[in-house]
Structure 1
Amino acid sequence: MTPTIQRLTPAEFVMLVPVLVDLYIEAMEYAPSMRPQRIRVWKGEVRSPGFTAVAAIDANEVVGVAYGFLGTRERWWDRQLVRAMEENGGLSQIDRAMLHNYFEVAEVHVSPSRQGDGIGSRLLAELLRGVPARWALLSTPEVAGEANNAFSLYRKFGFVDVARHFYYEGDRRPFAILALDLHSSTG
């Protein structure tokens, strides 16, 4: 059965956060001990400017989630983004333009048992539809040869490298930071 992609109101998102965080923990292979902290953070995200969330629902079960918001200089991730750009040789003119007009794709996750079914593509397309920003930016764990569903999805959409092998404090894995020019994308 093909899941329905549904936009979530902030209230619906908050109500579903425990289920969504469980999906995130499973998909990212994080320790379940981080659940309470992630629930708290995700519930707070609805107050971010431009907050948008979508879910994939199949037989009344959430099998995917994607959400994001407009980037702002006050956010932790924006500071990480600047640090990654600086470590990557300094801020270029394009980097500076991105920092002033981007949508942060905070999370895109599909239940591991449903990955590869096109759900992530449908979630990302709906999430980015009508975004009031020039750029979409995200980060994803590095994988040898980009050989996973996440990289395949982002490359299909046209995301390009901003920084590679970037380390966030508290995570031992390297991450890639990717960008999509929404004015020239075809998704």
Structure 2
Amino acid sequence: MSRDASTVSPTQLRAYLAFTEVSNLLRHAVEKQLRDAGELSYVQFQLLATLGEAQDGRLRMTDLADQLVHSRSGLTYQAQTLERRGLVTRSPSPDDERSVVVALTAAGRDVLAAVFPGHIDALHRLLFSSLTDADIDDLARILQRAADHLRADPPRSAAPRSASSR
């Protein structure tokens, strides 16, 4: 099917507006839950959760920024804030003195454990409860395809580094 790139069909517009509305409403509710349960911003939660999923709870700042699609300076500020709370540590990379490694601390794991139950409840209550399992499968497949397409030409903060720039 050929699409005219200079126009948006009524169905495309409806899909886009529904996507942004769901995204905005969900993010607002999730941010409130994270603030109430763990005094975390959404980006701070993403940073901690991403470290929690990392093999040894550690990532280079540049890799973390790429995964989260967040500016390096903004993420550095968030990491500093979390470090002051004792939730992460930052240290020079043993492989490259120009790189900084962020590591999740035991206190950071404790905060994640405290916020996750409410976070999961909010996702189920606000998003997944109105969908069938088949809807969720379709949504995951469709959004992953869109994410893969967007990552093919990522913003600078999400562009993978060449080996020479690491």
After TM superposition, the score normalised by the length of structure 2 is 0.27
The structure having more radius of gyration, on CA atoms, is 2
What's the TM-score, normalizing by structure 1? 0.25
Of structures 1 and 2, the one with the larger relative CO (CA 8 A, separation 6+) is: 2
Considering fraction of residues, name the structure with more strand. Answer: 1
